[in-house]
Chains A and B, each alone.
Chain A
Amino acid sequence: MKRKAIIKLENVSFSYNKGDFLNNINLTIYEKDFLGIIGPNGGGKTTLIKLIMGLLKPDEGKISLFGSTSKASRESIGYLSQFKNIDFEFPITAMEIVLLSRVGRKLFKRFNSQDMAAAEAAIKSMGIWALRDKTLNELSGGEKQRIFIARALANNPKVLILDEPLTNLDFHIQEELYKILKQLNKEIAIVIVDHDLQMVSKYSKEIVCVNKCKMHAIKYHDANSLRAGLESHV
């Protein structure tokens, strides 16, 4: 059975200040994929994600989500950005963080019982319902990460895109989160940017390596063949 393509990048180029950054990228992500994105720092992993999310505009090429190029289609993506833009001292509870993901386009949004139910389901699916009234700065690193994944899940996305969600988390928590993602992958596609080759190769089905102008899909059977594949490309 042929799988349906959900995210498609065709000949996409992007540069910040006239210098080539991402050049002529082609990438197709299918439903129920578990795609790992790796590459050196400054190689363009986050840029690639932001292009997909429509947070950056490509200079050339076409990006379609679920067969459409309209901005509305990105609402079917659960997005988890890097933590560096988040102010952890912001006075907000875990429940509020997840609920706010349902504000969307409505300027005068009031939360109804549907919103509450969706937030509750998302938080429960991450096993942290008991922490819902804790404020952000009262949560540990792993708990924070779960809340942000719950936020990304609260709108029933068809794909979850996570940009380095595991930075600064210890090994056990990383493994735990990967298991959760694996579980979610039964229903939805997962795209994850990660530094940890060992971990990402253990769980993902495919890996692409992004390094500025070049992008490679790497086929592998285990960590060793992945490493060999990487060395031949990077």
Chain B
Amino acid sequence: MNSSVIVFPGSNCDRDIAIALEKMQFKNQMVWHKETKLPKSDLIVVPGGFSYGDYLRSGAIAGKSLIINEVIKAANDGCLILGICNGFQILTETGLLKGALLRNKNLKFINKDINIKVINNETKFSNKYKKNQVLNINIAHNEGNYFTNQNHLNELNNDNLIAFKYCDKDGKINEISNPNGSLENIAGIFNSKKNILGMMPHPERMVDNLISNNDGANLFSSLLK
């Protein structure tokens, strides 16, 4: 499976995701944001970091970059797109995913391992997980507070477009287990065609028991199926 990782000035999880993809047997290429053509890819990853120093709004400037036009075209053709952390913010700024990521409710940058629950395990991104499986996974963000309008929130719920929700270690979804104030504890969502996943947690940091755990690995192996 061929993958491409888009690199912006200020991306800092690009190499982590590349290592994770290669470990999971993807044939990966890095693509600089000024490129105007994408290599043939089954999966495009928009990685985490601080593209353009988070100027204006997180992801706003990257969302208007040259390569993003190609990502949008590929997405509309059904290519799989994964946006992690700043990548999720960029995808919302392009309109590929609806909603927005606001400043964390407590105004603090949060970097810690938290728990998320797999809400929909019937997608290309999540089929190797069990439904309601609890994953221990790292978050590291300042703007992770997911917000959207009521109509879209209904659509997310009715069409099963919520990928992950923040929960406690027993899988309880409540205010205490919500680290950033996200609506309904949302940690990751799909677009209506379910070929795009945006998520604040970092699965690429969870693919090796030596340095963390292996809870993120099934996201990548799901894609290989």
Tell me if chain B binds chain A.
no
Name A residues whose Cβ lies closer than 8 Å to a Cβ of B.
none
